[in-house]
Structure 1
Amino acid sequence: MGDRVQMEIKRKKREVTLAGLFTRYTVIFCVNILLIFVILIGVICLFPLSSLFLPANYAEEQIDEKRDAIAEADVVTSDLIPNRCSYGVYDADGWYLYGNFADEEKEPAWKHYEEERSSAGGAFYYQYIRRKDGEVCIVKYALHLQFANEKLNDHLPNAEGILIVVVLFLFVLLLLANAVLVSRTFAKVLKKRLQKLERVTKKIADQELDFEIEASDIREINTVMDSFEKMKRALKESLEQQWKLEQQKQEQMAALAHDIKTPLTVIRGHAELLAEETLPDEAGESTAYILSNVQQIEDYLAAMRQVLDGGSLPEQQERFSGEEVKELLFDIARQTAAAQGSFVLFSGEKTKGGVICDRQLLIRAFENILSNAFAYGDTEKGIRLSVAENCREGEQFLKISVHNFGRGFSKRDLIYADQEFYSGDESRHDSTHQGLGLAIVRKFAAAQGGYLEYRNEAGGAVVEVYLREK
């Protein structure tokens, strides 16, 4: 349980789920809709009370006020009838005398009177006023909202239609505002919580692992935070372990470099003593090779110590003519062949161009090619080395070609030979080979704007390096 507590964040006492959070804002959205309905009902109730409108029964009230005047007038004129109302005067037998009823309204109006029905259909109604001599004045009016200003009644649709449009517009507007407000608030709340995840992710990605992960009030986010806490601790432990291993490796490499220095000094001392003696030509040449290679090993050890001390190896770019490259490589090939008990066949035309590169990187790449050539070739047949200029796709290259006479590349070698840590077929005798040889050559050639090619040819393997001339 102790490990479990350490691997999880300290959670807050009150947590909600994402579903609960979403439900909360859904409820808020629905409550806001109810409030919108209350507001719109209030608008519908208060709208007619404004001075802009007349009440729906305004015409009916006007008729009631003028009922006596209509009953007693000798002739009913339109000025006794409220605006936007029509009327007709009938005798006792139902004959239409006068008024402003349309022809199709005259008969239905009298029939409604006889049946004592006040509704004329829809929002229209009849008022019946009995006059002297048995006459009856029938007034047709509408029960609906009207504008107080007659000009508005003449030029706009009826007021009730306007009210419905206004209410619908307010409903849509308030509904959209509610949706935007609630969704933005929900998104803001969720974004604030997710930003904690983003900060934790960034710190872990940047390997800033000395921090406490802050808990959220959302359960699902806390579950993810727990996973991040475990990841952070595991990564921290892994990096610490890696750092310790790296430190041990550097200490071992430093100790090895120091241990190599002592026998190397002894070798140099004896070789220098031999060089001071009068030796046969072959022995003298071998002594010179020993001193030259001792110096090269010392240079490698100095470079190794510089890297172990936290420095880097600066590239010392130099310009070499093609002839200088040829002379350097031929000399290295002679020394390597002598050490292997083999020989080298040299060829190549006089070159005009040159290359710009680091001398040590050039030597390192070429020595890797030679070591593979002698290791997998026939020492009795030697190797063939040529340095010449070559033009490809309009560009001039210095081509270095090494051909050995051995078993050649296998099918798998032809695919992977220049990949890092590829050590070839298991049947090869060198089990300590680290598979870096041609990979180093490929990288060096690419850095010079060139490339590496290799193939099988004439009972052996051919490796060609193309360096762009500058």
Structure 2
Amino acid sequence: MLKKYSLKKQFILTFSLVLGCSIISVILTACLVTGMLNGKSIKAANYYEKKIYDIEKYINTKNDKLLNLDYEKELNKIIPSEGIRYRVVGLESNKSYGNLDEELYNQVDIVNKINTSDVDKKNNVTKYIPIVTENYQLKGAVILSYRLAVTSDSIPQSLISLITFILLISPFIYIVFFSYLFGKILSKNINDPLSKLKHATENIKENNLDFNIEYPYNNELGEVISSFEEMKNELKNTLNKQWNMEEERKEIISGLSHDLRSPLTIIKGKVEMLLEGSYKNEDRLISYLDSINKSTDRSIELVNDLNLINKLDSSDFNINPTSNNVINFLNQQITNFKDMAESKQIKIKLITENIQKDLEYTFDKNSIIRVMDNIISNAIRHTDLHGEINIKVTLYKSKLYFKISDNGNGFSNDDLKFALNKFYRGDKSRSAKSGNSGLGLYICKAIVEKHNGEINISNNSLGGAQVSFYLKFN
């Protein structure tokens, strides 16, 4: 009931409930006692004390006549015998009468206590009323004794005392009872989420992060649990990333050993043949040295690719954007691949939209050159003789879009799914022949993303491959 409120409000409401329920319970108890005693004559604690005034008035009226024993009946009518005991004492005649023990008082004490009242520890009151003559001579005294307590004509005094005691301590009893009851509820409201947190910490200690903590209330404990859940999820993501990084590290080592094996095997084989005497044949020597040189370059290129990947994957890697003329940059890229394209009689066509000759755009030139080199060289490599490669560049909403397509054999279904991953090789035999390490498109993807862009691969309407990406420099 109180779980949805803040802890401060829960404490306030709990205190209010304890106080409110205690007050109501005390009222109900008093009403119940009143109902039980309905019809009984209950006298207040000062009931008999109020009678003293009339008694004292009667005594002052009769004066020393009260010393006559004939007035005993009259006094018995005036003084209620069930609550007040009395004794009339004459100082000269030693006459006395009444229902109060005579031997408890002596004349000296009586004279000294005239017009006074004694109250003992049990609230018993003894009052001394003088008896004087018309000439104001002291002749005696009327001693009245009564008790300041609730009384009843039909209920035993012991029961009256018990009821009075219960009524007096009932507020404390109810406060203790309701404090325990509502305190237990409050304790449960607090302990439930704390128990969940404790169980969660035990799961984390056992390296189990596949759990959820459910607490639907938006209070301080809910905020703590929500923060703990976020911490757990972040820890889980961090561990997953760490695991993925470990898997990638293993994949990189495996891919590196695989890719380095081929050029190193070639180098080792050629060197062994030269050591066996093949160096004596000049043509063969030149051929072997050329093969060793190309294999060495391939090994260096692979190591450079791996170093670049490590840099690109690092969170503190930064590109170096500069302002570049887009048309000049594109023409230079086409010129770089002119010889390679002409060797296969492939035509490279450049198409631009919304790009003026003097348009300047900010990007890391060396990084984008690497992206263009990889995509265009792949297009030339997989395009047949007399083929065509189209490079379309568009400026739209401050983004620079590139679309490079060819009319070659295009991407396979597996290529479309995995070509942007590390060390992916579509046609394994073709990859070995072309020296494809499976890192090229992944590097392109990492560089484009560093430029706040995105890269996609697809097949165009002619069935050839198409690589699209955009750059956005904020």
Q: TM-score range by the shorter chain?
A: 0.3 to 0.5
- Using the size of structure 1 for normalisation, the TM-score is 0.41
Greater CA radius of gyration, 1 or 2? 2
TM superposition score normalised by structure 2: 0.41
